[in-house]
Amino acid sequence: MLKLLDVQNLIKYVQSVGMEPFFHGLAETIEADFKRWGEFDKMARVASHSPAGVIELMPTDDGKFYGFKYVNGHPKNFEKTLQTVTAYGMLADVDTGYPLFISELTLTTAFRTGATSVMAAKYLARKNSSVMAIIGNGAQSEFQALAFKASMGIKTLRLFDIDRAAMEKTKKNLDAAGFDVYLADTPHDAVKGADIITTVTADKKCAKILTDDMIQPGVHINAVGGDCPGKTELEKAILLRSDIFVEFPEQTWIEGEIQQLDKDHPITELWEVILGKKAGRTSDEQITVFDSVGFAIEDFASLRYLYEQLKDTDYLQDVDLLSVPTDPKNLYGLLNGTDTQNREYLDLIPNVL
């Protein structure tokens, strides 16, 4: 039987271990997988565009496990009171091709995006950072805040969103989570005194959420929302005086803030910074940008983390999604009633965690 983690069980599990410990474990697994970057088969995602949005499949494998995420991006979904981004994913065994685990990934994508942001910030933001601005207070904003509290102790937030109700929603959630939250009147007001600026807006256009005059020396910009062709958040002038760090360059050149730059502009891959091969922040005056677009290895690590934590628990349910006849050449026997056995197969698969 395949194992499945549904939404309610993920919520119960996160509530049982606590949000910050969950972030810690997830961030550690993502960082461990960034450290073995070379072991992964890195494919560009397969995107299917329509007038309403995009549906993507994001596969990767490390030679032992294969994982993929199904994810959509539909900016107008909120008009139907639906999520802009939903996702689920799967982990399989490379040696047999057998699926092992299916999981919700909508909440998990929000968690892993926050965990990846703070993993980058640990190497790129000033060590004494204590104030973060968050521009864009939609579905992902609290997850960004919680990740930075869990890993960097950031408790002072300055929020801005063009939707006042969204700001107030986020303040209410984060007040209750122990933050000191200021609601700004403008983006300029929001970034005043901020050591870290997180942009996580949803509009699908080349926007200038941050303009050059807003950026003081020493700031780290965590640019999360610009993540597909034609969707950016930073004025180009900011990029030209910053040091820019990315996940997977082949993808970021197409989807990230750097789609605004010439292809010979210098960028640094985050995994090389984590491994100490390249420098992260080198001075207190430097402006750093993490041009985050989200990469398959982050989802792979999330699936692996959830499966490792939960595989022997009641949080997972069994799903009978794969026929495993007694005689592999007699698939038809399942239909004519001569083989009623739909076997357990996990004990036949070498790479079960």
Closer to a copy of itself by CB, 160 or 345: give it: 345
Q: How far apart are CA 171 and CA 159, in angstroms?
A: 8
Secondary structure class of 353 (helix, strand, coil): coil
Closest CB 304 distance from a copy of itself, rounded Å: 16
Catalytic residue flag (residue 320) = no
Structure tokens at 306: 């959830």
Closest CB 40 distance from a copy of itself, rounded Å: 11
Closer to a copy of itself by CB, 240 or 335: give it: 335
Closer to a copy of itself by CB, 117 or 242: give it: 117
Q: How far apart are CA 54 and CA 209, in angstroms?
A: 23
Per-residue CA distances from 335 to 323, 327, 330, 332, 338 (Å): 11, 13, 10, 5, 8
Closest CB 227 distance from a copy of itself, rounded Å: 15
Contact yes or no for 184/190 (Cβ under 8 A): yes
Closest CB 333 distance from a copy of itself, rounded Å: 7
Closer to a copy of itself by CB, 18 or 217: give it: 18
Closer to a copy of itself by CB, 193 or 332: give it: 332
Nearest by Cα to 204 from 74, 41, 117, 16: 74
Structure tokens at 73: 């991006």
Closest CB 69 distance from a copy of itself, rounded Å: 11
Residue 79 buriedness (CB in 10 A; 0-12 / 13-18 / 19+)? exposed
Secondary structure class of 198 (helix, strand, coil): strand
Secondary structure class of 352 (helix, strand, coil): coil
Task: State the DSSP H helix or E strand holding residue 16, giving kind and residue range, or none if neither.
Answer: helix 7-17
Determine which one of 227, 243, 291, 299 is catalytic: 227
Closest CB 286 distance from a copy of itself, rounded Å: 32
Closer to a copy of itself by CB, 309 or 342: give it: 342
Q: How far apart are CA 47 and CA 58, in angstroms?
A: 9
Secondary structure class of 92 (helix, strand, coil): strand
Active site residues: 227
